[in-house]
Amino acid sequence: MKTVPRNGNLSILRQPHLGKMVLLALGLVLLIVTSIHLQFILSVAKFFYMIERIPPLTEAINGDVVEAYPLNEMKQIACFLLEQPEQSRRHVIAVYQDYIEIRAQNDIGNSIPSAFKLYVLLRLLFDVPEDYPRNEARFFGGWMASLPRERNSETVDMLWPLGYQNDQLIIKDSYSTYSGSVYNGLGEYDYFADRFPLRSVGDLE
């Protein structure tokens, strides 16, 4: 006569319990993943809502660039991104870059207003220098300044079109024309991230 090991029945009884635990764990993981994706979708939606309410720079400027452009609203968008984790922040920028490229498919001119907003925004996000060695500088868009700019063979103003007035960031210029291929804002984001520190929320308040 065969005898069943004393713990054999227990192991059999434990299998349904183990299956429920696995399903519970998988359900929890799925909930976390869904929550993360939902949070990202909400972040992207909020970003688009905030930045697309900003008028194009050339439309906002009429004489006095310092007073006319809603830079405080742009600073609020920068603060919103600064409060996001790095991965989420870069993903939001990547989605907006896709949007810019989609707008540029039929006519690059369609993408320029949104592209310039991102161009300005990156200079609010990162503490970009006004004087940077020209041989180390990279350019990701063909913006032409509307105001004459000082020519210096050794350095380039990476902060343009922003500048400082009484230690506060201001808009000091706009662009007159754009030439070349579509602006690569995501590439510039990565370039800045490798070289310049992020500003803090306090820097922009």
CA torsion through residues 193, 127, 130, 58, sign: positive
**Quick one: what percent of the chain has pLDDT higher than 90?**
34
* Amino acid type, 146: S
pLDDT of residue 195: 95
pLDDT of residue 25: 54
pLDDT band at 12 (very low <50, low <70, confident <90, very high): very low
Residue of higher predicted confidence among 188 and 5 = 188
pLDDT band at 183 (very low <50, low <70, confident <90, very high): very high
* Mean pLDDT, residues 114-138: 92
Reported as a single tens digit per residue, the pLDDT across 130-174 is 889 988 988 898 776 655 556 667 888 899 889 898 888 888 877
Pick the closest to residue 96 from 20, 143, 151, 43 (CA basis): 43
SS3 annotation, 127-148:
CCCCCEEHHHCCCCCCEEECCC
Residue of higher predicted confidence among 68 and 14 = 68
* Mean pLDDT, residues 187-198: 96
**Quick one: what percent of the chain has pLDDT higher than 70?**
72
pLDDT band at 80 (very low <50, low <70, confident <90, very high): very high
pLDDT of residue 56: 78
Reported as a single tens digit per residue, the pLDDT across 14-29 is 555 545 555 555 555 5
Residue of higher predicted confidence among 68 and 66 = 68
Cα angle: 150, vertex 156, 162; to 5 degrees:
80
pLDDT band at 92 (very low <50, low <70, confident <90, very high): very high
Cα end-to-end distance, the chain, whole Å: 84
pTM metric for this prediction: 0.78
Gap between the Cα atoms of 113 and 193, Å rounded: 23
